[in-house]
Amino acid sequence: MDRQTQIEFLSDHYRNPRGRGPLPGADVVLPGGNPGCGDVVTIYLKGDGQGGIDQVQFEGEGCTISQAAASVLMELVAAGQLDAESILAMDGTDMMDILGRELVASRPKCATLALGTLKTALRQYRRKLALERASQEDRPGGGL
C-alpha cells in the first residue's frame, strides 16, 4: 500500500471500527493500556473450548493508531485470517507491517497495544481451560 492508502485504511478502521463493543458471555475480559499516552483497549474473548478463538471484540479509547489496530485485529480474526496460533506467533513488527510500518513506526506501543492484550487474553483463556480440564479429571469418575 502507498502512504495515502495506508492513511485511508487506518482512518476507516478508526471511524468505523470492526468488532467494537462488549461481548456477552466472554470467557476472558482483559483491559490493557499505555498509561503514558492514555490509550486503552479491553479485549473480550470467547473461546472455542479447544484453546482457540470463537469470537473476539474490543472496547477502547485513544489515538487513531491504537484504536485502528484493535479494529484491524478484530476483522482479521472474524474473517478467519488470524487464528489463535498465528496470533501467539505474531510480534510487534508483524503488526506494524499490517498497519503500514512507515505510518506507525514512531508509535510502536500504540500499534501493538491490542495485539499484546489479545495475546495475553488468549493465554489466560488457555490457562482457564486447562484448569477446568484438570478439575474435571480430579472429580470421581472424571478421569479415565
Which 3-state string (H, E, C) describes the chain?
CCHHHHHHHHHHHHHCCCCECCCCCCCEEEEEEECCCCEEEEEEEEECCCCCEEEEEEEEECCHHHHHHHHHHHHHHHCCCCCHHHHHHCCHHHHHHHHCHHHHCCCHHHHHHHHHHHHHHHHHHHHHHHHHHHHHHHCCCCCC
pLDDT digits (tens, 9 = 90+) for 86-129: 999 999 999 999 999 999 999 999 999 999 999 999 999 999 99
CA-based nearest residue to 45, from 68, 74, 71: 74
Flag whether 128 is in a domain: no
Side by side, the strands of the sheet bearing 28-34 are: 28-34, 39-47, 53-61
Task: Evaluate whether 27 touches 84 at the Cβ level (below 8 Å).
Answer: no
Identify whether 131 is part of a domain: no
pTM of the model: 0.92
Domain span at 89 = 3-123
Each residue's pLDDT tens digit, 6-36: 999 999 999 999 999 999 999 999 999 977 7
Q: How many domains does the chain have?
A: 1
CA 2, CA 33: separation in Å to the nearest integer?
Answer: 29
Q: Is residue 134 part of a domain?
A: no
Identify whether the C-beta of residue 142 lies closer than 8 Å to the C-beta of residue 42: no
Phi, psi (rounded to 5 degrees) for 32:
-145, 155
Query: What is the CATH classification number for the domain harbouring 99?
Result: 3.90.1010.10
